[in-house]
C-alpha cells in the first residue's frame, strides 16, 4: 500500500507561513511536531510512529525533500527514497538512497517494488496530489493537531481530482494529536 503520512493543523496546513530551506516548517510550523515527543512511548503516537518507520520505501515531493535537507540521503533505515519532481538537473545526484523520478506512475511502481510486502510512505502535499490524481494513493494517515494556523501551505487545497471517497479505518487520540487513517475508495 502507498500511504500518505502527514501532520496537519486542524485547518489543513502542513507548514506555517513563509516556508523556505532556512525555515523548512514556516513560521511557527514546528508546533505541529509536538506530538512526536511521544514517538518512542507506548500508546497511540508511538504505535503510529513505529508503523511509519516500518515502511520499505519513501515517496517524497521535491519541495519536502529539499526543505528537509534531503534527509542526508537516509530517511529511515536506508530505504529507497523516490523524489517526485517535474524536472531535475542530471548533474545533481541526490545523496544516499534518494533518486529523482519525474513520472508519477513509474515512481509508484518503483516504490511498490522496492518496498516488497511493506508499505510505501508518502511525504509532501505535491506528491500526495500527484499520486491521488494518478489513482496511486491507497491510504492516508493524518496526524491532526489541535491548532489553527490561519496561513501556510495547505495539504489538500485545490486538488487536481474530482470528489474522492474515503473510508475511515482508524482513529486514535493521544496527547496533542488525533491520528486518522483512511482508505481511498477506488
Residues that bind a copy of itself (CB under 8 A): 10-12, 16, 28, 31, 132, 142, 144, 146-151, 154-168, 171, 173, 178, 180, 182
Considering the complex, state which of residue 86 and residue 163 has its C-beta at the smaller distance from a copy of itself.
163
State the Cα–Cα distance between residues 186 and 180, nearest whole angstrom: 19
Considering the complex, state which of residue 91 and residue 186 has its C-beta at the smaller distance from a copy of itself.
186
Name the minimum Å distance from CB 42 to a copy of itself: 20
Name the minimum Å distance from CB 156 to a copy of itself: 3
Which residues make Cβ contacts (< 8 Å) with residue 49, sequence separation at least 6?
36, 39, 40
Which residues make Cβ contacts (< 8 Å) with residue 75, sequence separation at least 6?
58, 60, 81, 97
The DSSP 8-state label assigned to residue 129 in this structure reads H
State the Cα–Cα distance between residues 18 and 39, nearest whole angstrom: 27
- At residue 177, the 3 state secondary structure works out as strand
Considering the complex, state which of residue 37 and residue 167 has its C-beta at the smaller distance from a copy of itself.
167
Residue identified by cell 486514535 is 172
**Cα 72 versus chain centre, distance:** 17
Name the minimum Å distance from CB 180 to a copy of itself: 7
**Cα 170 versus chain centre, distance:** 18
Name the minimum Å distance from CB 56 to a copy of itself: 26
Considering the complex, state which of residue 121 and residue 132 has its C-beta at the smaller distance from a copy of itself.
132
Considering the complex, state which of residue 32 and residue 81 has its C-beta at the smaller distance from a copy of itself.
32
Name the minimum Å distance from CB 52 to a copy of itself: 19
Amino acid at each position: 500500500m502507498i500511504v500518505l503520512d502527514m501532520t496537519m493543523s486542524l485547518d489543513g496546513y502542513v507548514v506555517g507561513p513563509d516556508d523556505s530551506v532556512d525555515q523548512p516548517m514556516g513560521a511557527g510550523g514546528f508546533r505541529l511536531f509536538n506530538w512526536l515527543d511521544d514517538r518512542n512511548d507506548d500508546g497511540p503516537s508511538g504505535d503510529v510512529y513505529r508503523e511509519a518507520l516500518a515502511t520499505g520505501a519513501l515517496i517524497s515531493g521535491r519541495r519536502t525533500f529539499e526543505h528537509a535537507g534531503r534527509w542526508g540521503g537516509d530517511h529511515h533505515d536506508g530505504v529507497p527514497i523516490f523524489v517526485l519532481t517535474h524536472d531535475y538537473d542530471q548533474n545533481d545526484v541526490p545523496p544516499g538512497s534518494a533518486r529523482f523520478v519525474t513520472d508519477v506512475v513509474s515512481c509508484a511502481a518503483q516504490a511498490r517494488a522496492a518496498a516488497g510486502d511493506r508499505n510505501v510512505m508518502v511525504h509532501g502535499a505535491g506528491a500526495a496530489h500527484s499520486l491521488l490524481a494518478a489513482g496511486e494513493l491507497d491510504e492516508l494517515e493524518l496526524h491532526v493537531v489541535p491548532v489553527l494556523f490561519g496561513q501556510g501551505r495547505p495539504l489538500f487545497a485545490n486538488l487536481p481530482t474530482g470528489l474522492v471517497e474515503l473510508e475511515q479505518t482508524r482513529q486514535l487520540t493521544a496527547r496533542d494529536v488525533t491520528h486518522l487513517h483512511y482508505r481511498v475508495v477506488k
